[in-house]
Structure 1
Amino acid sequence: MNSHRTAWAWVLATAAFALAAGLAIVLGWDALPDPLPQHFNGRGEPDAWMAKTYRNAVGMAVLVPAILTVVSAGALALTQQAAQSAEDSYPKPDPVDLARTRTQTALLLPVIARWMFALAAVCTSAIMAGLFGIGSAPFSMPALLFTIVALCGWLLWDIKSINDRLDADYPTAQMTGKMKWGMLYYDPAEPHAMVSHPNGSSSLNFAQKKAWWLLAALLAPTAFILVLVIVAA
């Protein structure tokens, strides 16, 4: 099975996890409390409730894996499209750049999809445990956050390993040694905050202060909405 098929198999597995969560709610309906817990504090104790309806229970169970299925599929499609654009671009890219892009895509696709599945599995398992009241503190926020941070560290390590391999096998003047943790482009010699790469993509150059201000501007609306949601809860 090639890397593309492996990646899409992980996407299907994430979708299947959403279906399994919904099915578990239907089959275990009588075991669910009434009313249903809607929110949990930092100790894993429910502090808000909602009506026991199929819509509420199934929606809460499948929301995370359903969203991650869509995000994962979109990320794979965009990555594949970027790689294809690099191959079809004119003038043709340097053979080393093209080989690097192909290898990067082949290595990165399964990693992204597998991580999305793992994240969906962790979050959905915590939600299901909270709904069914499994354990003394099934929705302990510190434990859940620690697990998510560990998953993020795992992803960063995999991406860094991929980038180290690319630097060793396909050294290029623009890319080699300039990707911090495989994700952040850092080139003090490049004066621009936004840099175009040989594969047709662009990224922020975090060696420039303007790039950090641009990132802050992009994240500010999301952060503002998150704060509102937390305050409202």
Structure 2
Amino acid sequence: MPSPNLGWRHFLIAKVCIVNDLPNLPKLPFNWTWVLATVATTVVLAGIGLYVYYPSLPDPMPVHWNGSGEADNWTPKSVGSFLSLILIGPGIILLTLSGMQALLTMQSGVITQRGGAKSANEAHRQWETYKATSMHMGWYMFVLNALILVMILNEFRPNPLPGGFIIGLIGIIAATIVLLVLIGKTTTSLAKKYPMPDQDGKTWGIFYNDPDDNRILVDTGMGMNYTFNIAHTWGKIFAVLIFAVPVLIVLLTVLL
């Protein structure tokens, strides 16, 4: 008579075989390149502002400008006030970038652990996605930081460049579009290299596009947990908000 435990033994053996089929992927190192580049750019541009533009500022000094580029709020002139105005945006960006890089590094080390990838293809897709995200978000935050600093310093120039804010805003929008295109290409490339049959033909960049699927949030299998199904109205709305909100927060922090 077969042992009642035989079924459990077969189950456990099968689980071990599945686990053993998963690749042994290395943990991604913390990407210091763009963090240090952002810090260096901030120091250089803040130094230029302090030594070139600060001495010629009136007392009280302007700290806010209206849509026409005219100062409409002032504060007593001091190095502390000047630097705090310049550095608040970079501070937010650096914290965001550092936290993101730390999270990607941590997540890359647990891809094949319990609750993680269920197949070799899924594991490779997640690892490659983390690696690409680390690079793309690094340069994007670097560019965003530089543009915001230049926009602020332009207002402190004796003769600010007309339309400087609009030019900077266009630069931010352009960088965001490039980011989305590159991430979309990476996602499409990885989907072909490490296919997941249940999602074939249904991905649109980093998003999911399947009108027959009623879910708004869909498991990506890319290590990014979930993405939005843009085939539905709410999916489109959330997809736009996920990129628009961080940029608006930084801009409002600088402008208000």
Q: TM-score normalized by structure 2?
A: 0.72
Partner of 2:181: 157
Describe how 1:1-233 pairs up with structure 2 within 5 A: 7-28=31-52, 29-90=54-115, 93-137=118-162, 140-180=164-204, 182-198=205-221, 199=223, 201-211=225-235, 215=238
Give the letter for the 1:189 counterpart.
D
Structure 1 unmatched ranges of 5 or more: none
Which structure's CA Rg is the greater one?
A: 2
Tell me whether 59-68 or 42-51 shows the greater mean CA deviation: 42-51
- SS state at 1:125 partner: helix
- SS state at 1:60 partner: helix
CA distance in 1, matches of 2:187, 2:75: 46
* Contact 2:188/2:203, CA 8 A, preserved across alignment: no
CA distance in 2, matches of 1:62, 1:91: 39
Give me the CA root mean square deviation: 3.3
CA distance in 1, matches of 2:143, 2:30: 15
- SS state at 1:86 partner: coil
Deviations 1:152-194 (A, max 9, x none): 11111111121121122122124444332x2322222333222
Deviations 1:199-232 (A, max 9, x none): 371233233445457x39x88xx79x97xx79x9
Deviations 1:53-98 (A, max 9, x none): 2222101111111211111112222233333333213475211111
Quote how far apart the aligned CAs of 1:25 are. Answer: 4.1
* Contact 1:41/1:141, CA 8 A, preserved across alignment: no
Q: TM-score normalized by structure 1?
A: 0.78
- SS state at 1:48 partner: strand
* Contact 1:39/1:48, CA 8 A, preserved across alignment: yes
* Contact 1:126/1:144, CA 8 A, preserved across alignment: yes
Quote how far apart the aligned CAs of 1:43 are. Answer: 3.4
* Contact 2:151/2:165, CA 8 A, preserved across alignment: no
CA distance in 1, matches of 2:67, 2:209: 37
Quote how far apart the aligned CAs of 1:103 are. Answer: 1.4
- Matched pairs, number: 222
Deviations 1:114-150 (A, max 9, x none): 110001001101111212335443x633222211111
Q: Closer, same or farther in 2 for the Cα pair 1:91/1:102, shift >3 Å?
A: closer
* Contact 1:38/1:48, CA 8 A, preserved across alignment: yes
- SS state at 1:188 partner: coil
CA distance in 2, matches of 1:148, 1:71: 17
Quote how far apart the aligned CAs of 1:10 are. Answer: 0.4
Q: Closer, same or farther in 2 for the Cα pair 1:56/1:200, shift >3 Å?
A: closer
Q: Closer, same or farther in 2 for the Cα pair 1:176/1:11, shift >3 Å?
A: farther
CA distance in 2, matches of 1:67, 1:19: 15
Structure 2 unmatched ranges of 5 or more: 1-26
* Contact 1:18/1:61, CA 8 A, preserved across alignment: no
